[in-house]
Amino acid sequence: MPLLLLLGAILALACLFYWYLARSHGHWAKQRGIPTLPGCWPGVGHMLPTLLMRESLEYLATRAYRESPRPDASSVGIYFMRKPMLVLRDPDLVKQVLQSDFASFHHNGRDINPKADAILAKNPFFIHDLQAWRESRARVVGHLSGKKLSCLFAIARNVSEKMTAFIERRLAESKVQEYEAELKKLFVRYTGEMVANSAFEVEGQCFSDEREPGSFHVVAEGLFEPGWANVLKQAVVFFLPELAGFADVRFIPQSAEDFFRETLLSILRHRREQPQKPNDFLQFVLDTNDEDDIESIIADLLIYHTDVYETSSLTLAFLVYQLARNPEEQDKIRRHVRDASGGKPITYESLKAMGYLEQAVYESLRLIPPTPALYKRCSRATTLLGEDGAECRLRPGDGVMIPVQALQNDPRYWSEPEAFRPDRFGPEQLAERNRYLFLAFGEGPRMCVGMRLGLMLVKLAAATLLLRYRVAPSAKSPWPLEMDRTSFLAYAKGGVWAKFRRLEEAA
């Protein structure tokens, strides 16, 4: 009898524990018209592949979008561990979350523990307090006004010439007059040198063949290097901020923060002795901050670093990959760039006139956005009504995922979505299409503050390359690309490769 009682008690506890783990997993069944993605496990919800480091939250949202039990559903429910999370499949719901009901969704979904990452916590992307966010964003926007962008253009043009000199060295070393490049690694040299020159007034040595351990290039490269260690670190920093604070897990390593701080202090000492102040990003930041507030200055510089360094290099890599795979479009864009520049060196004004090149950038971003999904968090109780009649009641703290890549490649909204067609972003097409179907820069009040800067850098690099080189596909990159599903950014397995040949030799 005692044994039976013991077994009964164990069974009762097991049932109680199971009920505790699974009780929240009936949330979406109670909401009208919202299907649940299959594959929900007690306690971990749909996060098992994420916990096993096989799939990031962004790619989970993409999978939920594409594998919805109801193809016509405006949204689909998933579970982040035991917490319900809604994945949107309707651009009108996206508009409500990002724009019309912004007051209910002004939180981005990721949290940063300021004790562990004090610098990153100052980034407006991670600030939850609405007034603090407005002040921080306004300051960053002020650093990137039209007049200031024209000043940064002069620096960027010099960096683009360093890039072509680097490619020329590689071509001179080649017996077949061809340079086969992993594009992400090539363009991170360009964006890294831009950050070093414009924000830290140093030579980044990004186009140097030597890799000095203390150089800007090596330090900056380590912040975003793909790999399981960075994936694990990002998961802890963004989703377990309490653990990040306890274990001192940081997105920006202490060594990198110390490097940037020491570099900045050295520059400040030098600038105090100079009567003439340079027109660079660092000076724009100094003009709006107290020079003694080193933490805020570093925070603004690292916001700039993040916007320029990784996302712009990814955008360039995928754009050039598409141009290599679509030679007719490449030729068309090259003619357009020649006409806009008039056979003269590219200027800030002529770059702005390259509208078709900008359309190509948008189309590349549609196919592969650097961020596959956006993560928002409900900040006050509200209700989302889908065009299919679904009614979702959200509570403060509930998560909402917007699968950017899935929306931008959905055949319901885009004809031949896998095709590279810059004409999709012509004026007539833009006027006819729901603007919330293209979200590479986000939308609404929290739209990417670095959009104009990023477009300028990407267009300048692409135009500079097209005037000198023809790019061709490499056998090292498959078609289509196979993406690394473990990262919160869009990385391709094995890299993104293409071949460069001088135009006169490629003819």
Known binding residues for heme are 448
Q: Count how many Cα atoms sit within 13 Å of the Cα of residue 169 in the half-sphere of its side chain.
A: 8
Place of tokens 């703290």: 397
CB 292 within 8 A of CB 307: no
- Amino acid identity of residue 297, one-letter, is I
CA angle 371, 233, 40 (to 5 degrees): 70
CB 393 within 8 A of CB 377: no
CB 236 within 8 A of CB 242: no
C-alpha span between 480 and 184 (Å, rounded): 16
C-alpha span between 365 and 357 (Å, rounded): 12
C-alpha span between 106 and 289 (Å, rounded): 26
CB 442 within 8 A of CB 374: yes
CB 244 within 8 A of CB 113: yes
Would you list which residues are annotated within the binding site? 448
C-alpha span between 27 and 399 (Å, rounded): 13
C-alpha span between 383 and 96 (Å, rounded): 10
Q: What are the tokens at 457?
A: 């850098």
Strand, coil or helix: what is 472? strand
C-alpha span between 410 and 418 (Å, rounded): 9
